[in-house]
Amino acid sequence: MNKKVALVTGSSRGIGRAIALEFANQGYNLVINYKQNQAQAEEVLEQAKSAGAQGIIVQADVSDSKAAQELVDRSVEEFGKLDVLVNNAGINKDQLILRMSDDEWTKVIDTNLSAAFYCSRAALKTMIRKRYGRIINISSVVGLSGNAGQTHYSAAKSGLLGLSFSIAREYGNRGINANVVAPGYIQSDMTAELSSEQSARIMSGISAGRLGTPEDVAAVVAFLASPGADYINAQVIRVDGGMNL
């Protein structure tokens, strides 16, 4: 009962998976959320249990307001509280703006931005009562700079900054911090599909000389959830290896 509880949306793979397992290694109990792949979510839970964590798996499409509320409710029912919310769920459908359909725009905005709003609103209700909470939104460096072919994605990731800053202003005096992590190019299924020319161009702009790993991002998220970050609020931390310095 004394363990803190973390809910990570979209935690069956990639960055979300790494974040969930980092929390497990640090002694948190977990709510693992997935939309489609139950088998992957079960693998994450098994690894978390091996690290000594307790956890549950909850299927939910967090771009749906009702489903997001039910996800948070299920978390509180299971563990009696919710200390940390990481809004990580996201999709992308690259397209130039003049070719972008209304449906492509809406799906990316709903999953990457509206979902974070729905989950945060639901989580705040219980965090305010406890006068403690950490909300960490996973944005992207393209949310800070924009990117050709990613108008919807960039807009959603930029919107997470305004969402976080507003939460911090409204509830910072009630023990609730809202911060943003903005990853750069991270090893993933998407970056694995890059051509050698694309990879070389990207690497030339990264002073660290390598792509990031999901674990690089997870370490920063875990720090923002820790007591060491109690006085950090409404901040954006880039995890990009020093891109384009």
Answer for the pair 82, 75: CB distance below 8 angstroms, yes or no. yes
**Residue 43 backbone phi and psi in degrees, to 5:** -65, -40
**Residue 105 backbone phi and psi in degrees, to 5:** -60, -50
CA angle at 103 for the pair 163 and 17, rounded to the nearest 5°: 55
Task: Please identify which of the residues 28, 118, 132, 153 carries the catalytic annotation.
Answer: 153
H helices of 110-195, in order, are 115-130, 142-145, 151-171, 189-192
Q: Cα–Cα distance between 6 and 164 in angstroms, integer?
A: 18
Question: Three-class SS of residue 16?
Answer: helix
Active site residue 153: yes
As a dihedral over the C-alpha atoms of residue 158, residue 109, residue 183, residue 142, rounded to 10 degrees, the angle is -50
**Residue 176 backbone phi and psi in degrees, to 5:** -115, 125
In 3D space, the residue among 28, 26, 31 whose CA is nearest the CA of residue 2 turns out to be: 28
Q: Cα–Cα distance between 161 and 16 in angstroms, integer?
A: 19
What is the structure's pLDDT at 197?
Answer: 87
Residues contacting residue 143 through CB under 8 Å, at least 6 positions apart:
154, 156, 157, 158, 159, 160, 161, 182
What is the structure's pLDDT at 245?
Answer: 67
The bridge status of strand 133-138 relative to strand 176-183 is parallel
Each residue's pLDDT tens digit in the chain (245 positions)? 689 999 999 999 999 999 999 999 999 999 999 999 999 999 999 999 999 999 999 999 999 999 999 999 999 999 999 999 999 999 999 999 999 999 999 999 999 999 999 999 999 999 999 999 999 999 999 999 999 999 999 999 999 999 999 999 999 999 999 999 999 999 987 777 778 888 888 899 999 999 999 999 999 999 999 999 999 999 999 999 999 76
